[in-house]
Structure formats: C-alpha cells, structure tokens
Structure 1
C-alpha cells in the first residue's frame, strides 16, 4: 500500500486539491467557505449553549463557554468520519472513466477524500484552538497529543472508505443504507452528552461504540489535561492498522471486477 501511494503521491495531492476546490466551485467566496462554515457553526454553538442554555458539560468543566467548545470538538471529529462514510459508497460510480477507459491507480481515490476531509477537520481544530485561547485560555499541555490521538482514527476511517468504496460498486443500495447508519452513530456516540449521563444499563453499549474512545481521548487531552492511556492507544493503533490493511486488500482484490459491473 505504502509503495503504491508513494509512487502516485503527486497525483494524490492533485486529487486532494481538486476535491477541495470542487466543493466550492461556482461560489463567490470560493475556498473562504472552508473557514466561514465552521466559524458560523461555532458561533451558533456559543450562542445556544453559552447564552441560551448556559450549559455545563459536567461538574469538572470551567463553564458554559468551554462546554460549547467540547461539543464542537466532538462534532468536528464526527464530521470527519461522516464525510468519508457518506461519500465512499458512491466514489467509484462517480468516476467511471477512471475505471473503464484508462489505467488509473484507483486506490488513491479513497485516500484523497479522507485527506480532503482531514484538511477540513484541521481547520476546525485550528478554530477550536483559537476560540479556546480567546474565551477560555491556554489549553493544557496534553493538547499537544491531539494529532497523535487522531492518527489511529484516520487509519480506521481510511479503512472504512476502502471497504465502502468497493462494496458500493457491487451493492449500489448501500448508499441508501449509509445515511441512517451515520445518523444513528451520531446520536449513539457521546458527542452531545458525556458518557456518564447514559443510564448504566445502556452505558456498555455506548462504550463499545468505536467512536467513544476517540471522542473521549480528544476531550481528555484537549480540555481536561489528561494524557492518553498509552497501552490502550497502542492497541487502538494496532487494531486500526490491521483493519486498514484488510480493507485495502479487499479493495485491491475486488477492483478487478469493477469494469464488468460498471
């Protein structure tokens, strides 16, 4: 996998740039929307949760402003996944010319959409840091571990993208099943609520949600000054890499039949 991507790295980055530009094609502000959209979202969160509800995430949070940022951090993390999750099943069908008419390294397409989503997420985390500095203060030193915490998550999302991109060719109805699954994952993940608010009889279900560890790690390192459990982190990293490898292998094996289906 690494060799194939490295050989086509220039083409990969070209597709990432093209994907980012396509999202805002025809708009007056263009790529400025990459900043405007998360800023507007964050402003709405601040107004609703800080001014209207005056909500606190938990007893340990400093106040309603920090609670709004905690919610925003969860939303950024989920949006990165959902963007890839929703696009991957139709990725091959949206690019039939690359499959039928030319010799093209199809394996760079799922990686391109995950990197594009990662750029948007990075902008969101940058705004999160800026608002934290302005309204709350300097984040704890453990916030430096945020990119490290997110790395296995990116590997896992990339694996999901390879898997769904392949299945979407052979099972076109999967694109209709993905949106309700994405919505269910959003509400069954501790994005808008702390996990200790979940009733005991359902808490184990939420804890087994694959989103829960990454959401908890992001909040702990960025807001609560808690360093990751490195033993658990290494297990997450190993599991993510194995999952990615299996999904990539499945994609490479199944892509041989893409031209016949499409």
Structure 2
C-alpha cells in the first residue's frame, strides 16, 4: 500500500534566507521561495495569473486530445498544441513515458522561469518536483518515505549548476501513478520537465533493492540528465553530479 504524507516534506527544501508562500489552483499546489524584499502582492498575483494561463492552455488542449491525459506511452502533439503540451511531450518521449509524467515539473519550471526574470534566488516546489535558481550553495533534503534516509540526507547544489530541476518520484509515497516500489528516485537535469519524466521512468524500474543501480544507469543514459539517485529501504545508488550531505 502506498502511503500518503502531508506536505511536511516541504520543510526539506526551505531555506532560512528566503520567504516562502503557497499558491494553489485546482491540482497545482506550489511552494515558492524568493528573497523577502521581492515578495509583493503584485508578484504573487502575477504568479497566479501565470498558473491560470498555463492550466487553461493545457486543459483546453486535453479536452480536444484526451489521449494526451491518459496515455502512458510517448505522444506527439500536433502543431496546434500549446508550448506547455509540446514541452511535456518532448520530455516524456525522452524518458519513454506519457506526457503527464512531466506535468508537475512543467509548472515548477514555467513558474520558476517567470520568477527568475524578477528574482535572483528562486525555489519552486510542486508535489516534490523542484525548480531551483540560486547564487549560493543550497541543500535540498531527500524525502524517501519509510526509508531511514528520509530527513537525514540532502543533495548539495552549487550555484553554477542552476537553474536546475530536482525531481522525485516514489512508488511508496503519494498519489502519483508509479509501477515501481522505489522509496525515491531523484533526478537532476537543467529541465524540470525532463527531470520529472525521468524520475517517473526510473522509479518504475525499481521493484526491489537489486534494481537501484540499473535505475540510475538508465537515468544517466538520457541526454542532459546530470545526476540520479534511487533509494529502497536502507539501500541507495547514485550516479553523476550528486553530492550528498547530511541534513
């Protein structure tokens, strides 16, 4: 049985020098960190309008193309598709998954890019998928459900590696569809959409502890993925630019 965990995992990416606020529009529920002096009513309203616009584009496209929503295989949108749908489909095709595997990363990336034009420091988290832009080294804690690594281990991200997507998929925590049993598959890539889709595909490959190494090797075989980490119980495999640190 998969475990639902209240969004206490959001404490794992909080940073003391930033102020965090939340915006929820239907299923899109973002936790956003920016410098305190950048937080204004106008900026919050701008982010909300950005989310609403993106959702409207995606919802209208899905209404006309319901296969986009349901397929678990790569999908090629037509030329009339909005940019968000085409970007999701492209990332998912690289991972060998359906386009909705990139939806959380898509909203994190788009909102993060919107804020990055206004703020030097940005963290946008959407259901465990993160867009990060920073001028200083950051620690992002790892949430791996029942694994003893939860709340004890973090990934250290140096500023020159940002903007960066840091996305997590799990077969034991949360409500997102997964065919695996990984406690966590964490993927790093410049695109949060790609990191999201690859995290789904990597987590799908983990049925037990013996599958961890193959899952991270699969992830690293995908172009532009820079780091991969997979966890099951008290076992861990990592590859690429994954610098682990204690919380």
Identify whether the pair has TM-score above 0.5, normalized to the shorter chain.
no
TM-score of the aligned structures, taking structure 2 as reference length: 0.31
Higher relative contact order (CA 8 A, sep 6+): 1
Q: Could you tell me the TM-score, scaled by structure 1's length?
A: 0.29
Structure holding more helix per residue: 1
* Structure with max Cα Rg: 1
